[in-house]
Structure formats: C-alpha cells, structure tokens
C-alpha cells in the first residue's frame, strides 16, 4: 500500500469512532503492572554493562606490556582500550566477509553513520575522559556497529584446526 492509498483509506474512515467500552481501566492496570518490573530490569542491564566495561578495562590492562611499574600518565585510557578491542573485532568481521546479505545495499553508508557517531562521542571524551556515561555510550555504539556488520554480511566460518 502506498501513501496515496493509505491517505485515501484514512480519509474514508469515520471521524468520530468511539470505543465500544472504556479502555482506560485496562490501560491503567497494565501500566501499574509494568512500572515496578521495568526499573529492576533496567538496573540489572546497566549494572551488567558497567561490570562488563570494568572487566574489559581490567583485562586490557593485564594484557598490555609494561603497565605494572609505569606511571599513571602512561596508562592507556578506557576509550583507547575500547577503540583497540572493537576496531580489531570490526576488522576481523570485515575480513571474513564473503557477501552482503539481501536488503543491506547501503551497509557501508550505515557504517559511516556509526563511525561519525563514534567520532562525536570520542570528541566529547577529550573534554571528559572519565565520564562513565560517555564510555558506556561509546561501547554501545561499537556493539551496535558490530551487530549490524554481523547481520549485513555473510561471513565465512572460522575453521578451527
């Protein structure tokens, strides 16, 4: 159905359609049931994301050579560690690409949009390098981009030897 057909169908509807019964009672009950459950679930996801970020940072610090006795100034930032991990994963995914999935003709343009958003968050991190919300947003953008690459591309399977 195109827009003209949709507009025509909408204009053919009666302007004063009234519901057969009062809907507010059902909506009010559903809102009351959902409200208490939504906050704990969101809290658990936020906690899990922060713990994941902390583990990632700790893991990267353990893998980097020469950080045990060095000064604080020479330690890489969380932003740079995220950049290193996700850019490596992105390069691995793109190197294993054998074809583009149907419906993803503009996948490279979409990757550029994510790259621009990532650049904007990284620019903000230059002013606020330890801001947890910016770091979480950066991690989220990287994860979205990797998930999109996974959906948009057909990749050759890894062969374990």
pLDDT at 64: 60
CB of 151 closer than 8 Å to CB of 104: yes
Give pLDDT tens digits for 144-160. 888 888 888 776 655 55
pTM of the predicted model as reported, rounded to 2 decimal places: 0.48
Confidence of residue 44 (pLDDT cuts 50, 70, 90): low
CA distance 123 to 137: 13
């Amino acid at each position: 159905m195109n827009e003209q057909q949709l507009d025509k169908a909408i204009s053919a509807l009666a302007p004063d359609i009234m519901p057969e019964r009062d809907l507010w009672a059902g909506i009010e009950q559903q809102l009351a049931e959902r409200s208490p459950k939504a906050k704990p679930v969101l809290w658990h996801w936020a906690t899990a994301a922060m713990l994941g970020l902390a583990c990632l940072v700790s893991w990267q610090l353990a893998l980097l050579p020469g950080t045990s006795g060095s000064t604080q100034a020479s330690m890489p930032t969380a932003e740079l560690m995220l950049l290193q991990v996700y850019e490596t994963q992105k390069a691995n995914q793109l190197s294993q690409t054998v074809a583009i999935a149907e419906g993803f003709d503009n996948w490279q343009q979409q990757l550029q949009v994510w790259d621009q958003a990532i650049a904007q968050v990284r620019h903000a991190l230059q002013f606020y390098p330890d801001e947890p919300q910016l770091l979480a947003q950066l991690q989220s953008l990287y994860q979205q981009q990797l998930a999109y690459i996974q959906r948009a591309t057909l990749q050759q399977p890894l062969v374990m030897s």
